[in-house]
Structure 1
Amino acid sequence: MPVHPEIKKILDFIPQSDSKPKIIPEEHRKMFNAPVLPVEKRVQVHAVEERTVPTSEADILVRIYTPKEADSYPLLMYFHGGAFFTGNLESHDEVVRPICKESGYKVISIDYRLAPEHPYPAALVDCYHVTKWATEHKDELKWDGKNLAIAGDSSGGNLVAAVSLMARDKKEFTITKQVLYYPSLDLDFSEFRYPSLVENGKGYFVESDQLAEHNSFYLLGNVDTDHPLVSPIREENLEHLPAALVITAEYDPFRDEGELFAENLKKCGVQVETKRYEGATWLLRKVYPS
């Protein structure tokens, strides 16, 4: 189907140019990290608080969203997107609030360290350690001790898949659900091996010829893009991973790798639900928040 009219309005507003300026992380962050709505116009939840989680690597700021007053809650850890070098608690506040309210989960959004100041594996290590911290503070968080979900969009979906692999192999805690929103699961852009990278590579906000540069900040130091914790789609053994919900967009360059990953999970016996939003681009969350 055609691009959703609300998304087309946004795409038409974005100036088009054949010349692509060099990406400067600090400048990109000013644009990407700015919220759209003032706090009073965002979805309201019972409580929102920030705190610092100490880990062996760094002190990580988190924002904790509580849907309602209750004796216990299922828990969801949220890993924001932004190509590993942008995004923060504020950029995704409007995303996390409706997830919290509609799901009934207590949600912990993680302000993991960003590249290039902190390249791979900093973001992955932070997300894993904060998730582990949450399971070790069951009483304080009023976690029900049974339901532990992790979710993330774009590069955050990459982190969801990688943390799921780490948790399975380390066996320090058990993740029960993983939710991947239009995930970027293959960080080797030396060739466009997925048709959607070609079909949707230009004119839909995220452009395929910029992906290598975007991810280069995370991949400093000759990182092996074939490693499953870098490119989770390269993992051959996907058995015993948590049930998954994989959400893709029709006009997103990442569409095919997300859907292939879902099929690979199914082949390994993992319970998977896949939802493709027709007419949507990477700007999916602007029209279909949560």
Structure 2
Amino acid sequence: MRHFHPPRPTALELRERINKNAPFFGPVVVQMAAIKDFAVPFAGRGVPVRVYVPRVDEPLPVVVFVHGGGFIAGSIASHEGLTTKLAQRADVIVVSVGYSLAPEAKWPAARDECLAVVQWMREHAAKEFGAKPGPIALSGDSAGAAYCAQMLFIAREQRLPLAGAVLFVPVVDMTAATVTHAGTRQMIEWFVADTFPADVLRTDPAISPLFEPDFTGLAPVMLVLGDGDAWHTEQLAFAGKLASARADATTFVDKGVGHAVTDAGIDAAAAWLNARLRTPAPE
């Protein structure tokens, strides 16, 4: 008996399918003292960002947030429910990045845009937004957390100070070797094919940080996971490598949660950021 296999959807069709679920984290429910849109200069153009300031009575630390969406979808707007809650609960300025999406922009374009935003904010956020001087933290969910994980290792190599990173349900292994659900594996294959150049190996640590041989010297990390996530096995392996390297790492596992971010996860991340970003750190 021959089985019928539906045609592979295009990246634009997948993007439309994903974005129909937007906003992923509900409407904006937290009032900000200020919200500002502008572009960070990079490579002769601008990377769009939106800055969320929860209050203005004192300088606040900065968290650069990278949204998820399978590398091909999502936006600043789709994640405002998460970013505004994080800003309010952690008492931080959140800078959400509108990076270029695949397949129009293949990796490492988006990652490099996000890194440029981090570097620019480190130099200019205090003057432009009255932010607290000092190292900046990273955060992101899913594909955005994948970019953040990649940037952790780049920051180490470039000696770029980071205050820490909160990775919500990160994707750290592009081989999807531990993903057992056939439909999920198929979706991952589509995302990876649309995002990464064909000559980049799936096990290359530059795109799959789980395969990095050295986890020492990284900025502090918090993993916010769901125990029902299809990527949970690889996420725990990543946590294990951090532990083996005696890294400053914390893991919060949201029980009964899949590949999603809940209020409990945001609360845990906010508490970690609040403590971390108010501890004096060396430049």
TM-score bucket of the superposed structures, by smaller chain: 0.7 to 0.9
8 Å contact from structure 2 (residues 175, 202) kept in 1: yes
1:212 maps to which residue?
Answer: 189
Residue type of the alignment partner of 1:148: I
1:110 maps to which residue?
Answer: 97
Query: Sequence identity, in percent?
Result: 25
8 Å contact from structure 2 (residues 224, 265) kept in 1: no
Residue type of the alignment partner of 2:152: S
Q: Could you list the per-position Cα deviations for residues 131-176 of structure 1 after superposition, in whole angstroms to 9, with x for gaps in the alignment?
A: 10101103223222235210111111111111111111112x3111
1:148 maps to which residue?
Answer: 136
Cα distance in structure 2, aligned partners of 1:162 and 1:72: 29
Residue type of the alignment partner of 1:143: A
Of residues 8, 19, 26, the one that matches 2:12 is 26
Of residues 260, 267, 277, the one that matches 2:244 is 267
8 Å contact from structure 1 (residues 124, 163) kept in 2: yes
Cα pair distance change 1:38/1:279, threshold 3 Å: closer
Of residues 276, 281, 284, the one that matches 2:258 is 281
2:127 maps to which residue?
Answer: 139
8 Å contact from structure 1 (residues 80, 152) kept in 2: yes
* Alignment map for 1:77-88 (pairs within 5 Å): 77-88=64-75
Cα pair distance change 1:61/1:278, threshold 3 Å: same
TM norm structure 2? 0.85
TM norm structure 1? 0.83
Stretches of structure 1 that go unaligned for 5 or more consecutive residues are: 1-17
Of residues 78, 81, 89, the one that matches 2:76 is 89
1:286 positional shift = 5.8
Cα distance in structure 1, aligned partners of 2:54 and 2:210: 33
2:52 maps to which residue?
Answer: 65
8 Å contact from structure 1 (residues 57, 126) kept in 2: no
Residue type of the alignment partner of 2:155: A
Structure 2 residue 157 is the aligned partner of structure 1 residue 169: yes
Q: CA RMSD in A?
A: 2.1
